[in-house]
Amino acid sequence: MRVRLPISGTMVGRVKRKAGLVAAAERIERDAPFACALCDRPLGVKVEWHHPVPKSEGGRETVPVHPICHRTIHATLSNAELARGYSDFALLRAHPDMARFLRWIAGKPADFHAPTRGAR
């Protein structure tokens, strides 16, 4: 059996993947957002990433949101509506159903979760 030794200064296989994961974790920790893009409450352990302009409509940018906020956005508005008029969070917060949700969620802890109604 031949043992392949890495050329000095390079990493291979599992070592390279592990180094990449460590670097990614450090980058996430360093660049970690501190507040939900929708409700401005501090983010908890669980974070989901929302496309203000849906991927199906050509969007690439993502922003961090609580899972309950993310589910409420998609339960309230279709992807077409999000792309057409609600890609700006100020407009999204002004939507009557979202404004009611934001008043309700304001005092809840970061990792609070409740079932989300699916009526559009």
26 assigned to some structural domain: no
**Position 6 in a domain:** no
First to last CA, the chain: 63
The model scores a pTM over 0.95 = no
Range of the domain at 65: 34-105
pLDDT digits (tens, 9 = 90+) for 2-13: 555 455 555 555
**Domains contained in the chain, number:** 1
Residue 92 lies in a domain: yes
pLDDT tens-digit map of 19-67 = 666 666 666 566 656 899 999 999 988 999 999 999 888 889 999 999 9
* Residue matched to tokens 């949700």: 101
Where does the pLDDT of residue 91 fall: very low under 50, low under 70, confident under 90, or very high at 90 and above?
Answer: very high
Could you list the beta-strand ranges (E) of 4-117.
48-50, 63-65
- Residue 11 inside a domain? The answer is no
